[in-house]
Chains A and B, each alone.
Chain A
Amino acid sequence: MIGKLVAQDVLKIKRKGIWFLTFLGPFGVVALQMVNYGVRKAYLLQQSDDDWAYYISNVSAFSPFALILGIAILTSFMASIENETNGWKQLTALPVSKMAIYLSKFTVLVMLLFLSSILLALFSLSYGVFLNLGDEIPYLELLKYSIYPFLASLPVLALQLWVATVSKNQGIPITVGVFGVILSYSAYVLPDWMIWKWPSLLNQWNEPMINVLFGLTFGAILYVIGMVDFMRRDVK
């Protein structure tokens, strides 16, 4: 059943620019580095002995809040597809549980963001190779800095999906998103417990894996809270 709902949701996001955004996000992050390195490559290469590591750190300076923004935009898009067409009414009248409806939306979003993360790794790799940063390509690091932030951002995704599905006015989730971005931009001053800090992979123990584990755990918790609230509410 959930498979069918996911297939339906994938169908619904056609021609809404959602696939384009999924591609644009990682491309934009790497494109910023293209500009960065294009303008001052010599200077940037001087900054570190390990050009690949320095390059990856530059890319991942932007990826956390590109991710946070992407989450805010995609969740709001998903919700407004239903809001604009009175789709919630139709959807909940189908012989499926509200739990499945919510899970399906979440699944599609996770798929899109995961795709974005993989694309980010691919784009970073391609441009890194193009820059000729060295023969020892750190595949593992590239993958790690693309996938970890995504896993660490799951609580933000769960929160945004919750807010977006229960708000009739999509200005609310977008505003929450704006604050999320500002918070993630100041990640280095935020306390460790703030979920918007996690995608930056920073913490006082200097162990990115902790953020990933936090992300998975609290992502699940927030997801359940959001889903329960969604199920509890009347359909407008």
Chain B
Amino acid sequence: MIGILGSEWYKLQKSKAIFLLFAGPIAGLLIGLVVDINLLPGEAINKWHLALLSMNLNYALLFLPLITGVFASMICRYEHQAGGWKQLLAMPVTRGKVFIAKYLLLVTVILGMQILYLGSVFVVGIVHGITDPFPMVIVWKSILGGWIATFPLVALQLGISIMWKSFAAPFAVNVCFTLPAILAINSDRFGPYYPWAQPFSMMYIGGNTEDVFFIPWDQLLTVVGGSFLIFFICGYLYFQRKAV
């Protein structure tokens, strides 16, 4: 397993796709720097929350779900290009392990991106001269919570990217699921149950104390966990049967 993971990391690290890692955090940084957080309405207990709020809408709602799909397509691209799957699966590895290794690689990359994003939030705060103590909840809930919320999305996108050679097709599927999230987050009834709205609701930190420390465990376990299991198992089984 270590061998496959090492090999997967090696292939990704040698491709230019890895630079995509910086795209989101840099975009977040620019948005955060442009928006004057002191002008944002609402009283907050901590100005860091405002900084995060100004950056999150674009990043968590659209960028994060969409980019997971792009990453998934990237790490399948070089396998599709010139018989990579054939070569990989003729080696003494099980298909299951290959699938898991690709999956682990993806979530690791997303974690890396989340950590860079945290760095962006920090820089924005410093530039805007925020003196309030840095709330660790941003790390736990926004960064790690948002990361975990992408697990099911990554599983689905990996499955679809294995299925289709083209970039556009998995992306189209991704878009079809991500756009409704814009509506879903405005709905109390549907928002909590829509997997593509989860990264946003996890990364979101509300203005009052109750919201701030509130991690919706039920929701996390049922919606994120449930959809993760469904997508992961479907992708896993599909890959077992795929003819190469």
| Physical contact A–B (CB less than 8 Å) | yes
Residues of A within 8 A of B (CB): 17, 21, 24, 28, 32, 35-36, 39, 62, 65-66, 69, 72-74, 76-77, 80, 84, 169-171, 173-175, 177-179, 181-182, 185-186, 189
Q: Beyond A32-B179, A35-B183, is A182–B168 a contact (Cβ under 8 Å)?
A: no
Q: Count the A-B residue pairs with Cβ separation under 8 angstroms: how many?
A: 87
C-alpha gap A21/B166 in the complex (Å) = 15
The yes or no answer to B189 lying at the interface (CB within 8 A) is yes
List, in ascending order, chain B residues with CB within 8 A of A69's CB.
175, 179
The yes or no answer to B215 lying at the interface (CB within 8 A) is no
List, in ascending order, chain B residues with CB within 8 A of A28's CB.
176, 179
Q: Which of B70-78, B90-98, B102-110, B199-207 contacts A (4 or more CB under 8 A)?
A: B70-78
Beyond A170-B167, A178-B66, A186-B31, 4 extra complex contacts between A and B, CB < 8 Å: A17-B169, A62-B179, A77-B168, A178-B62
Are B183 and A174 in contact, with the CB atoms below 8 A? no
Q: Which of B27, B34, B168 contacts A73 (CB 8 A)?
A: B168
The yes or no answer to B23 lying at the interface (CB within 8 A) is yes
The yes or no answer to B58 lying at the interface (CB within 8 A) is yes
13 contacts between A and B (CB under 8 A): A35-B190, A69-B175, A76-B171, A77-B166, A80-B168, A171-B74, A171-B77, A173-B167, A174-B167, A174-B168, A174-B171, A185-B58, A189-B35
Are A171 and B169 in contact, with the CB atoms below 8 A? no
Residue of B nearest to A169 (CB): B77
Residue of B nearest to A177 (CB): B171
List, in ascending order, chain A residues with CB within 8 A of B27's CB.
179, 182
Q: Beyond A32-B179, A175-B70, is A80–B166 a contact (Cβ under 8 Å)?
A: yes
C-alpha gap A141/B154 in the complex (Å) = 41
Contact string against A for B residues 170-187, beta-carbon threshold 8 Å, 1 for contact and 0 otherwise:
011001100110110001
Q: Which of B20, B58, B166, B171 contacts A182 (CB 8 A)?
A: B58
The yes or no answer to B165 lying at the interface (CB within 8 A) is yes
Residue of B nearest to A74 (CB): B168
Are A182 and B63 in contact, with the CB atoms below 8 A? yes
Q: Beyond A182-B27, A182-B58, A182-B62, is A73–B165 a contact (Cβ under 8 Å)?
A: no
Residue of B nearest to A35 (CB): B183
C-alpha gap A189/B61 in the complex (Å) = 17
Are A80 and B167 in contact, with the CB atoms below 8 A? yes
Residues of B within 8 A of A (CB): 16-17, 20, 23, 27, 31, 34-35, 57-58, 61-63, 66-67, 70, 73-74, 77, 165-169, 171-172, 175-176, 179-180, 182-183, 187, 189-190
Are B183 and A186 in contact, with the CB atoms below 8 A? no
Are B63 and A178 in contact, with the CB atoms below 8 A? yes
List, in ascending order, chain A residues with CB within 8 A of B189's CB.
39
Residue of A nearest to B16 (CB): A169
List, in ascending order, chain B residues with CB within 8 A of A76's CB.
166-168, 171
Residue of A nearest to B172 (CB): A73
Q: Which of B58, B77, B168, B171 contacts A186 (CB 8 A)?
A: B58
Are A73 and B175 in contact, with the CB atoms below 8 A? yes
Min CB gap B213→A, angstroms: 29
Min CB gap B84→A, angstroms: 15
Min CB gap B229→A, angstroms: 26
List, in ascending order, chain A residues with CB within 8 A of B34's CB.
189
C-alpha gap A181/B73 in the complex (Å) = 18
C-alpha gap A179/B62 in the complex (Å) = 10
C-alpha gap A76/B70 in the complex (Å) = 13
Listed residue (A36, A65, A181) with the most chain B CB atoms within 10 angstroms of its CB:
A181
Min CB gap A156→B, angstroms: 15
Min CB gap B182→A, angstroms: 8
Are B17 and A171 in contact, with the CB atoms below 8 A? yes
Min CB gap A95→B, angstroms: 29
Min CB gap B6→A, angstroms: 23
Are B179 and A66 in contact, with the CB atoms below 8 A? yes
Q: Which of A32, A36, A171, A177 contacts B73 (CB 8 A)?
A: A171
Are B165 and A84 in contact, with the CB atoms below 8 A? yes
Q: Which of A39, A169, A181, A189 contacts B62 (CB 8 A)?
A: A181
List, in ascending order, chain A residues with CB within 8 A of B23's CB.
175, 179
Closest 8 CB pairs of A and B: A170-B167, A76-B168, A77-B168, A80-B166, A178-B66, A73-B172, A69-B175, A73-B168
C-alpha gap A189/B32 in the complex (Å) = 13
